Amino acid sequence: MTEILISGRKCRLFGSDKPVCFLIQPSARHETPTLEEEATKLAALTTVPFLLVTVELEDWIVELMPWADRNISRDEEAGKHGQETLEYILQELVPWLEQRYGSRPIVLGGYSLGALFALWASARTDRFRALAAASPSVWIKDWIPYAKKNVPQASAVYLSLGEREEHVKNQAIARVGDCLRAQYELLREQLGEERCTLVWEEGNHFADNAGRLARAFAWCLQRM
């Protein structure tokens, strides 16, 4: 693992120094302890040389939410800075990587809000070949109407959800199962059944995050 500042943001690089694919993952600070585990599990699942690049976010809710939803956060800045995060990836991080390794296909992925960000970002740019969306927060208000009108420009999309995630008392969060099923059906119509998948994992939202992300990225790497 290499830790480095890229245009003022702390990034961590895992994997090959001769990658055939970049895996970019916006990451919350609370995810830092599991990143090494994620990279190790991913390496065990694929023979494709990869470079996993995680971008540490100061406030992942503020920096990843595509728009405001008071069920997620009452911070007035939430929902205002997702575009800035995307611009950093496209205008700072990707050029830095390409200068050192050459042009490579890119997979954008993440967990929870990071996964939601990947789905949102891919409708705004064609730079991402595939999306690794583990337990995406598609229960955010107005997501499905947005997804109907804004098609991901990636060629492959992996979705997953813990089988217990929709069985919670919070009624807003409990919508996640139905919302993800609707998202998957939309992707089947928009991209084709062979270009997307929905995997049901064991446990709740906090179970085996590293393993879920590793499996998501491995699926995407198989389609590079």
Question: What are the per-10-residue average pLDDT scores of the chain (224 residues)?
Answer: 95 97 95 96 98 95 88 68 95 98 98 97 97 97 96 97 91 91 97 96 89 98 91
SS3 23: strand
> What tokens were used for 72?
């997620």
Class of domain 2-221: alpha beta
Report domain extents, the chain.
2-221
Give me the pLDDT at residue 187, please: 97
Whole-number Cα distances in Å, 57 to 53, 85, 117, 128, 221: 13, 9, 13, 20, 25
Give me the pLDDT at residue 79, please: 64
Give the residue from 42, 27, 78 showing the smallest Cα distance to 219. Answer: 42
